[in-house]
Structure 1
Amino acid sequence: MTGGSDLLLERMTRLHPKIIDLTLARVERLCAALGHPERRLPPVVHVAGTNGKGSTQAMIRAGLEASGASVHAYTSPHLARFHERIRVAGELISEDELMAVLDRCMAANGEAPITFFEITTAAAFLAFSETAADWTLLEVGLGGRLDATNVVEPRLCVVTPVDLDHQQYLGDTLGRIAGEKAGILKRGVPVVVARQHPEALEVIEARAARLGAPVLAEGQHWHCGVEDGRLVFRDERGLLDLPLPNLAGPHQIVNAGAALAAMRELGLDADACEAGVTTAEWPARMQRLRGMLAEVMGPGELWLDGGHNPAAGEAIAATLKAMPPARTHLVCGMLNTKDVAGFMRPLAGVAERLWAVSIPGEANTLPAGETARHARGAGLVADEADGVREAIAAAVGMGAHRVLICGSLYLAGHVLRSGA
């Protein structure tokens, strides 16, 4: 059923001809018209990066909440409902509260051009500024320097791994993309830096030096890895010997390290740090599905991941390699703006076959036939399917014991909305 907020959100998409148009001018204007809610937030942890932002933020939130703190959190995009983006003092924003802040933002903005992300970010700031909490966690939407969230003065910045993605907006080299991500750094504000390509790290450290921002970088100021089946984190404060993260995949070790470095900087004790990595939940990141679609699998395993760039393809491949051996098929749908071949290339060695689908209701979906063509070019055996359910059934019919649905957060959202 469509709610009032859904209709308002639909109207907001018509306020600017472009979905993405990077600048801070419009959101600064709207925040001023709203009385600057971005200046009245609880202390902010600002998270940028290409991959792992959501997982890292989820672990930080779990740790803060385990310590007894009340936490606002802003993430994007949503999977099933828009409300997922705005968590007010630990709870998803209510329909009534979302309607109220959206109405106020629409009234303050009038007919001035503003993108959907900008006006909804201002709505989140408004909701956060009017409810007491101890912390605010903000995930960058795209880039960092000109992202709508970058109008705050944070207590801590976090930069997760930087890789190639959104090159049409952020630049075509790791250095340029890292420069955009590092745009969230502020003078004198500490920054936790996860494992990076040398080119990206050089850019981040150079900006931090110009701003006098203390750097807490993996490999220099802290170390995180797996030893004897345990997560071991070391920094100048000492050692943490913890269970492995709740979130699946080797790449979550990198995310857990960044989250732990952030939690230590925020003063959390060992118990809260352990809760951060062992209780965090983040949908569509190597998520095991057990609903109606899983019934099509019978005794097999059904997994879901929203990763969509080459680094995500490598992370998925590493995760599948680390699992017990099983005949594995992929169900894949992607957007036409992504590096499809780059995403698929690492997967050729871990899956028997790929079933290509179009993403329902998504204007920028890559047609299933094109996805299959790219898959074959990357070395995968590929066929087309009319939909996700049909693809799973076909995979099971060919003996698959593990199926992973992947390629896009938009496809993941469709799957979760369908009651997977």
Structure 2
Amino acid sequence: MTYQETIDYLFSATPVFQQDGGSAYKPGLDIVEAMDRYFGHPHHAYKTIHVGGTNGKGSTSHTLAAVLQASGYRIGLFTSPHLVDFRERIRVGGEMIEQSFVVDFVERTRDLVGELHPSFFELTTMMALEYFRSQAVDVAIIEVGLGGRLDSTNIISPVLSIVTNISLDHTQYLGDRLEDIAREKAGIIKPNTPIVLGNSGNAEVKAVFADKARECSAPLILAEESRILQEATLMDIGYLYKTRDWGGIRGELMGLAQVENAATILTALGQLRDQFTFTATSIARGFSSVVTLTGLQGRWQTLSKHPRLICDTAHNQAGIALVVKQLERYRYCYAQIHIVLGMASDKDVSAVLELLPSWAKYYFTQASVKRAMPAVELAQMASSLGLKGLTYSTVAEAVDAAREASATSDLIFVGGSNFVVADLLEAYRK
């Protein structure tokens, strides 16, 4: 098979949650454990770090990878979903997985796929773990796909587990209470393995993690109590962080969520000092060059300046709340703020729309995936909440309309869904 034929096969032969939603969700570890045995437990060949949580997993995983790369280690990085290219999910040293490996792996596993019927995520998890072994990585940073306890990635035995935060998302699978979601995400805690919790949220969530950590004899470290991050100031060049242990650091990522992420990352690095060698210089380089070192996209990313065009992958209530807070700060810095918005139909769309400001100008659209809410339906829901705008059948059309209506002193924000950002970046790549 050619590489494109292989990708087409992956997306057609296995259920893909990114595209199909709930019909592709297959909780449980039986299939991935069977595949792991078949491949001889590839993740035993290197150290791993496991990163879960509701929001911030991607930024946290990529920044940790950047710091460790800057410290001289060979780093594997497995994240999801991808935005433009499937190979974004699996990287070594910041470089995407080789096309030839993807083709070879899929050809080698076709009989296994026919026997076990894995999901897309189960199969790509094993692809990543096997690729990292073939590339002789020192450590692989593995991002949880969904939840934690029953996620395919939960077969690893990490040197450190991280949960960034707990908020409402994927409630149809994980539960509709924060404590229920916390129990699922705390499922990545392993015996005698430190667990860093970024933002515990409330006493009930903290108690869930404390109980699970105690049950596993796992040291629980709360980032909000570590005091490693002392101060954060947002500048045009990114955040300036004042830290307790490593001096001043410039963070390249600019969304408000990055302050919480930075506290989590710095706390995690404090726990990793026994496993890895790094310096204040390598930490500073990782934070200031995460995009260059790892290829991270879609986190408060500026694509043009006149007008300023920003995209962000925030897609649930907690994430959008921070986006709105940041737009509020920008409101009087720009003549007009335009919002290009699309959402997945399986999200709590009403809760998100209730957060959005009525003073912005809206362009409602839909991404090119089955899970996308039709633009007309989204616009109708928004209109009932006082948010007015026209509808556009594609993200590219919506962004073009916003650009045509904008002065050079305006700001255009594009978001509401990973898929909307993906379509935007794909359009910019052409």
TM normalised by structure 1 equals: 0.91
Quick one: which of 28, 34, 37 aligns to 2:39?
A: 34
Match of 1:61 among 37, 60, 65: 65
1:240 to 246, 268, 271: 246
Secondary structure of the structure 2 residue equivalent to 1:347? coil
The 2-side partners of 1:51 and 1:266 are apart by 22
User: By how many angstroms is 1:262 displaced?
Assistant: 1.5
Query: Matches of 1:394 and 1:227 in 2, distance apart?
Result: 36
* Residues 372 and 178 (structure 1), Cα distance of their counterparts in 2 relative to 1, 3 Å cut: same
Specify every segment of 5 or more residues in structure 2 that has no aligned partner in the other structure, as ranges.
235-239
**1:408 equivalent in alignment to 2:412:** no
Choose which of 284, 291, 300 in structure 2 pairs with 1:286. 300
SS in 1 for 2:428: coil
Q: Distance in 2 between matches of 1:134 and 1:347?
A: 44
Aligned equivalents of 1:415 and 1:129: distance in 2?
34
Equivalents in 2 of 1:85, 1:155: separation in Å?
A: 21
* 2:7 aligned partner: 6
Structure 1 partner of 2:285: 275
CA shift digits 1:151-205 (9 cap, x unpaired): 0100001110110000010011000101111110001101111022113222112
Corresponding residue of 2:237: none
* 1:314-357 Cα shifts (integer Å, max 9, x gaps): 111122233362111111111110011222322216x5122111
**Distance apart, 1:4 and its partner CA:** 3.3
Code of the residue aligned with 2:417 in structure 1: it is S
Superposed displacement of residue 228, structure 1:
6.0
- CA gap 1:227/1:163 in 2 versus in 1, 3 angstroms: closer
Identify the residue that residue 220 of structure 1 maps to in structure 2.
225
**Equivalent position of 1:252 in the other structure:** 258
- Give the TM-score taking structure 2 as reference length: 0.89
User: For 2:362, which of 337, 354, 373 is the aligned residue?
Assistant: 354
What corresponds to 1:387 in structure 2? 394
Contact 2:307 2:406 in 1 (8 A): no
Partners of 1:37 and 1:218 in 2: how far apart? 31
**Structure-1 separation of matches of 2:163 and 2:177:** 17
Query: What residue identity is the alignment partner of 1:307?
Result: A
Q: Partner of 1:419 in structure 2?
A: 428
Hey, what does 2:102 align to over in structure 1? 98
In structure 2, the partner of 1:20 is 25
With 84-93 and 63-72 compared, the bigger mean Cα shift is at 84-93
Q: Give distance in 2, aligned partners of 1:190 and 1:366.
A: 40
Contact 1:75 1:85 in 2 (8 A): yes
CA 1:23–1:167: 2 relative to 1, 3 Å: same
1:315 and 2:325 aligned: no
Q: How large is the Cα RMSD of the aligned pairs?
A: 2.2
Match of 1:176 in 2: 180
Structure-2 change in CA distance of 1:380 and 1:244 (3 Å): farther
Within the candidate set 166, 169, 179, 1:165 is matched to: 169
Is residue 396–residue 423 contact of structure 2 (8 Å, CA) maintained in 1? no
* Structure 1: unaligned runs, 5 residues or longer: none
Moved more, 126-135 or 60-69: 126-135
Q: Is the 8 A contact 1:48 1:139 kept in 2?
A: yes
Match among 289, 300, 314 for residue 307 of structure 2: 300
Over 3 Å counting, the alpha-carbon distance change for 1:373 and 1:196 in structure 2 is farther
| Letter in structure 1 aligned against 2:351 | G
Structure-2 change in CA distance of 1:38 and 1:107 (3 Å): farther
Q: CA deviation at 1:11?
A: 3.9
Q: Where does residue 344 of structure 1 map in the other structure?
A: 353
Identical amino acids, percent of aligned pairs: 33
Which of 247, 263, 266 is the aligned partner of 2:269?
263
Pairwise CA distance, 1:71: 0.1
Distance 1:242 1:15, change over 3 A: closer
Judged with a 3 Å threshold, the aligned counterparts in structure 2 of structure 1 residues 223 and 82 are, in CA distance, closer, same or farther, namely same
Q: State the one-letter code of the partner of 2:9.
A: L
Cα separation, 2, equivalents of 1:70 and 1:39:
16
1:226 maps to amino acid: E
Shift of 1:398: 4.2
* Cα distance in 2 for residues equivalent to 1:303 and 1:356: 16
- Structure 1 contact 86–92 (Cα < 8 Å) conserved: yes
| 1:87 partnered with 2:98 | no
Distance 1:10 1:394, change over 3 A: closer
Q: Residues 196 and 220 of structure 2 are in contact (CA less than 8 Å); yes or no, is this contact kept in structure 1?
A: yes
CA distance in 2, matches of 1:9, 1:278: 35
Counterpart CA distance in 1 for 2:365 and 2:249 is: 37
- The alignment covers a number of residue pairs equal to 406
Please say if residues 90 and 128 of structure 2, whose CA atoms lie closer than 8 Å, have aligned partners that are also in contact: yes
For 1:398-420, what per-residue CA distance to the aligned partner results, in whole angstroms no more than 9, with x for missing partners? 44611111111111111111225
1:193 aligned counterpart, secondary structure: strand
Mapped to 2, the partners of 1:228 and 1:302 lie a distance apart of: 22
Q: Does the C-alpha gap of structure 1 residues 391 and 308 become closer, same or farther in structure 2, counting only changes over 3 Å?
A: same
